[in-house]
């Protein structure tokens, strides 16, 4: 206990000093505390009465986590959660430390933590999760994550270690992780077919039937303003909700969150209605006012996520201003080859105007050229953003589609100070 | 058969396409389209019955380890046809995993051996750690820029021509400065990125060589490659 308290105290002090000297957003408290007590995470989570829920997967972690936290809080459960930028061990340790007093977590009934899919196997044994939610598994930045099978292996370890799981019945890579004790979420055929999973994109050629009969079924996902109307069928009940985030993929996230919430004892109707309150997570379908225009920030990290974003663009009224910002920093993935797996050809003749920006703007412009789409290029994110807004009419919705670090820079331009809270550990 | 149409065969389009290698097919197609040259793309999945002598240009990419074993079996099964096509002058671009299978053998980390078809006098050994990063290669077709991500180390035998010399990155292995291999019109490389979009002169070289066999001597109309070269320039400056 003494060791834990020392570790936590020194970690905090280091974080305080780091902020004092202006190094800000850092995982230093968690990093230092883990050096002094390698079991700091295990010990702190043991003091959370309702245990830990882990949300992992390739796409939709942040939104699903936020939805689940909202549902639990709405039903009166105080929940500790982490910003998406701190979903590795040291970030999780930092979050736990900041919520602790004398070696115990105080004031929270439960923790809902988003965990990076590559870090989740090592962290699961330390977090001893009561529930693991897996949104989907798709090929991601290969220079960071390696092959999809490697990632599936990591997530499989976490699922097997948990008491219960909430799994995507429509994604065969996720469904294969089932070891019983599973609540399944999925969608009706019409929606499922619009979300081709990776085995369809890269592997076996035939569309398969869902691996399991879903307990929570997304029956409707229909765009409505900047968001959408969805319908979920769960345990014989049909629940309607209006989400503030667009896209069928967010309908899937809602199904996952509601499945998890119900599994944790939340009334289905409460879980569904809480979705309506939830604003978009940073950069994930978030609409921000900028110079009289509305900017929809759609983070993209991999082909499957980008293809989903493209569906929103094909549905947008022409002409819409679209800015794609591609960086190749470590957190974005240094290899931009994956842009060639995104079906930009679907946007040929869309009537939209495309701009490209970011460190690899030229690669993006070239990809669009071979997709039959003309674009203008300005590597500077600020001037590119202003040019995009200026080209739209007052009040119009414009789309900004950035990779991770480009998204953080865009947020800083759109909402000065906001990116720091995404990054604070 | 209508030989006025240029035929691009895409081998293992799903199994061997993890680093955007489809971009190579898109590039060849568009560069023909922009010159008003009729073409078609034949998709040749694992196990498909297909005579590669009916193609002008054959393209294949890299895959995950599990796919590689299945693809290796298929490559060995069509080895006679593959070698006949290479001998006949069909142009090939084989990237990463398929490039390895076009050598003599691939030796996995556990010592087990996957036989290759020996188009290249080369051998690949699974190595410690992956080689990852942007690559610049000096070749007979100018400077080539791409991204490599491979665990295998390929050694060329003496007398086997390389695609080029590495200026930045590792290429075939972390010992020699060679990248890729060339036999007749068959080009093997570790470059993804995809490789052809950012190296238009290399893309056109493949088209010229591939078309020469059935479409007579070919002169390709020049295209405006400003965006291609801009992307190559920006990639060359990245780690």
Q: What is the pLDDT of residues A346-364, one digit of tens each?
A: 999 999 999 999 999 999 9
Residue B81: CATH number of its domain: 3.40.50.880
B110 in any annotated domain: yes
Nearest CA in chain B to A336: B193
Half-sphere exposure (Cβ direction) of A325: Cα atoms closer than 13 Å: 29
Q: Are residues A300 and A407 in the same domain?
A: yes
Q: Over chain B, what is the mean pLDDT? A: 94
Q: Are residues A241 and A307 in the same domain?
A: no
Structural domain tally of chain B?
1
Average pLDDT (B63-86) is 90
Q: Are residues A261 and A325 in the same domain?
A: no
Domain boundary among A251, A275, A299: A275
> Quick check: bond before B194 cis, omega within 30?
yes
Q: Are residues A216 and A365 in the same domain?
A: no
Domain boundary among A256, A275, A294: A275
pLDDT reported for residue B1: 46
Beta-carbon contacts of B222 under 8 Å, excluding residues fewer than 6 positions away, are none
Average pLDDT (B210-222) is 93
Quote the ipTM score. Answer: 0.96
The parent domain of residue B65 ranges over 6-236
pLDDT reported for residue A313: 93
Between the alpha carbon of residue B129 and those of residues A146, A346, B106, B125, B151, the distances in Å are: 12, 38, 16, 12, 6
A22 in any annotated domain: no
Neighbours of B66 (CB within 10 A): 13
**What are B87-125's pLDDT values in tens digits?**
999 999 999 999 999 999 999 888 999 899 999 999 999
Q: How many Å apart are CA A250 and CA A255, to the nearest integer?
A: 9
**What are A276-327's pLDDT values in tens digits?**
988 888 888 889 999 999 999 999 999 988 998 998 999 899 999 999 999 9
The segment with the largest mean pLDDT, out of A81-95, A168-182, A376-390, is A376-390
Q: Are residues A288 and A267 in the same domain?
A: no
Q: Which 3 state secondary structure label does DSSP give B226?
A: helix
Half-sphere exposure (Cβ direction) of A21: Cα atoms closer than 13 Å: 8
In which band, very low, low, confident or very high, does the pLDDT at A370 lie, cut at 50, 70 and 90?
Answer: very high
Q: Is B45 exposed, middle or buried (0-12, 13-18, 19+ CB in 10 A)?
A: middle
Q: Are residues A50 and A112 in the same domain?
A: yes
Structural domain tally of chain A?
2
Residue percentage of chain A with pLDDT more than 90: 68
Q: Are A312 and A247 in contact, with CB atoms under 8 Å apart?
A: yes
Average pLDDT (A157-184) is 94
Q: Are residues A189 and A68 in the same domain?
A: yes
- B151's enclosing H/E stretch is strand B142-156
Evaluated on CA atoms B30, B31, B36, B37, the torsion sign reads negative
Q: Which of B96, B150, B215, B233 is catalytic?
A: B96
B1 in any annotated domain: no
The parent domain of residue A127 ranges over 39-275
pLDDT reported for residue A204: 42
A411 has a pLDDT exceeding 80: yes
pLDDT reported for residue A110: 97
pLDDT reported for residue A196: 66
Q: Are residues A240 and A378 in the same domain?
A: no
B164 in any annotated domain: yes
pLDDT reported for residue A1: 73
pLDDT reported for residue B48: 94
Q: Over chain A, what is the mean pLDDT? A: 90
Q: Are residues A267 and A296 in the same domain?
A: no
pLDDT reported for residue B145: 97
A198 has a pLDDT exceeding 90: no
Domain boundary among A246, A275, A304: A275
B206 in any annotated domain: yes
Q: Are residues A90 and A206 in the same domain?
A: yes
**What are B121-140's pLDDT values in tens digits?**
999 999 988 999 999 999 99
Q: How many Å apart are CA B151 and CA B132, to the nearest integer?
A: 9
Q: Which of B10, B150, B192, B215 is catalytic?
A: B192
B166 in any annotated domain: yes
Q: Is A118 exposed, middle or buried (0-12, 13-18, 19+ CB in 10 A)?
A: middle
Phi then psi for residue A296, to 5 deg, are: -95, 115
Which residues does B contribute to its contact with A (CB < 8 Å)?
14-15, 17-23, 26-27, 30, 45, 64-66, 132-134, 147, 149, 192-194, 197-198, 227-228, 230-231, 233-235, 238-239
Contact A361 B234 (CB under 8 A): yes
A71 in any annotated domain: yes
pTM as predicted: 0.88
Contact B17 A202 (CB under 8 A): yes
Compute the count of residue pairs across chains A and B with CB atoms less than 8 Å apart: 95
Average pLDDT (A390-411) is 96
Q: Are residues A295 and A158 in the same domain?
A: no
State the nearest Cα–Cα gap between A205 and chain B, in angstroms: 8
Q: Using CB atoms and an 8 Å cut-off, which of residues 169-188 of chain A contact chain B?
A: none
pLDDT reported for residue A422: 55
Average pLDDT (B135-147) is 96
Residue A366: CATH number of its domain: 3.90.190.20
Half-sphere exposure (Cβ direction) of A149: Cα atoms closer than 13 Å: 8
Active-site residue flag, B192: yes
Q: How many Å apart are CA A168 and CA A276, to the nearest integer?
A: 22
């Amino acid at each position: 206990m003494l060791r834990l308290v020392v570790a936590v105290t020194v970690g905090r002090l280091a974080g305080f000093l780091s902020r004092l000297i202006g190094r800000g957003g850092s995982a230093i408290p968690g990093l230092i505390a883990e050096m002094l007590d390698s079991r700091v995470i295990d010990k702190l989570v043991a003091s959370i009465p309702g245990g830990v829920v882990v949300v992992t997967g390739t796409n939709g972690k942040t939104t699903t986590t936020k939805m689940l936290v909202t549902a639990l809080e709405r039903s009166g459960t105080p929940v500790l959660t982490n910003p998406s930028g701190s979903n590795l061990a040291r970030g999780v340790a930092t979050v736990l430390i900041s919520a602790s007093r004398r070696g115990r977590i105080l004031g929270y009934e439960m923790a809902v933590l988003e965990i990076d899919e590559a870090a989740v196997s090592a962290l699961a044994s330390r977090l001893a999760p009561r529930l693991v939610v897996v949104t989907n598994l798709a090929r991601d930045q290969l220079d960071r994550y390696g092959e999809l099978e490697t990632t599936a292996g990591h997530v499989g370890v976490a699922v097997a270690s948990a008491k219960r799981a909430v799994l995507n019945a429509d994604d065969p890579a996720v469904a294969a992780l089932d070891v019983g004790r599973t609540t399944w979420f999925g969608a009706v055929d019409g929606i499922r077919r619009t979300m081709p999973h990776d085995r369809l994109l890269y592997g076996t050629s035939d569309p398969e039937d869902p691996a399991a009969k879903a307990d929570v079924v997304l029956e409707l996902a229909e765009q409505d303003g900047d968001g959408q109307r969805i319908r979920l069928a769960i345990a014989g009940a049909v629940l309607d909700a209006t989400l503030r985030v667009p896209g069928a993929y967010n309908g899937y996230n809602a199904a996952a969150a509601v499945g998890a919430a119900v599994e944790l004892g939340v009334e289905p109707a409460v879980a569904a209605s809480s979705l309506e309150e939830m604003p978009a997570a940073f950069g994930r379908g978030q609409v921000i006012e900028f110079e009289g225009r509305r900017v929809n920030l759609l983070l993209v990290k991999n082909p499957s996520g980008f293809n989903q974003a493209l569906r929103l663009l094909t549905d947008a009224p022409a002409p819409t201003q679209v800015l794609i910002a591609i960086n190749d920093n470590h957190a974005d993935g240094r290899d931009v080859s994956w842009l060639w797996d995104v079906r930009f050809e679907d946007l040929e003749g869309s009537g939209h105007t495309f701009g490209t920006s970011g460190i690899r703007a030229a690669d993006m412009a070239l990809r669009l050229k071979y997709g039959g789409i003309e674009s203008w290029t300005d590597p500077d994110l600020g001037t590119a953003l202003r040019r995009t807004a200026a080209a739209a009419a007052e009040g119009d919705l414009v789309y900004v589609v950035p990779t991770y670090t480009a998204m953080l820079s865009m947020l800083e331009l759109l909402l000065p100070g906001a990116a720091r809270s995404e990054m604070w550990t | 058969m209508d030989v006025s149409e240029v035929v691009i065969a895409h081998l293992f389009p799903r199994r061997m396409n993890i680093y955007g290698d489809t971009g190579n097919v898109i590039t060849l197609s568009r560069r023909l389209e922009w010159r008003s040259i009729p073409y078609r793309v034949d998709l040749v999945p694992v196990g498909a019955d297909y005579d590669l002598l009916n193609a002008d240009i054959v393209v294949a990419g890299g895959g995950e380890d599990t796919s590689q074993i299945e693809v290796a079996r298929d490559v060995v099964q069509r080895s006679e046809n593959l070698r006949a096509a290479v001998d006949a002058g069909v142009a090939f671009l084989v990237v990463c995993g398929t490039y390895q299978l076009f050598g003599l053998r691939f030796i996995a980390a556990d010592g087990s051996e996957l036989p290759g078809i020996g188009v290249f006098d080369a051998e690949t050994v699974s190595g410690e750690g992956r080689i990852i990063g942007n690559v610049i290669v000096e070749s007979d077709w100018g400077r080539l820029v791409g991204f490599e991500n491979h665990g295998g180390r390929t050694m060329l035998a003496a007398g086997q021509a390389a695609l080029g010399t590495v200026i930045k990155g590792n290429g075939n292995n972390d010992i020699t400065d060679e990248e890729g291999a060339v036999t007749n019109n068959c080009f093997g490389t570790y470059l993804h990125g995809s490789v052809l979009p950012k190296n238009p002169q290399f893309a056109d070289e493949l088209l010229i060589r591939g078309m020469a066999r059935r479409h007579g001597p070919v002169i390709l109309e020049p295209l405006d490659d400003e965006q291609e070269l801009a992307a190559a320039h920006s990639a060359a400056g990245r780690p």
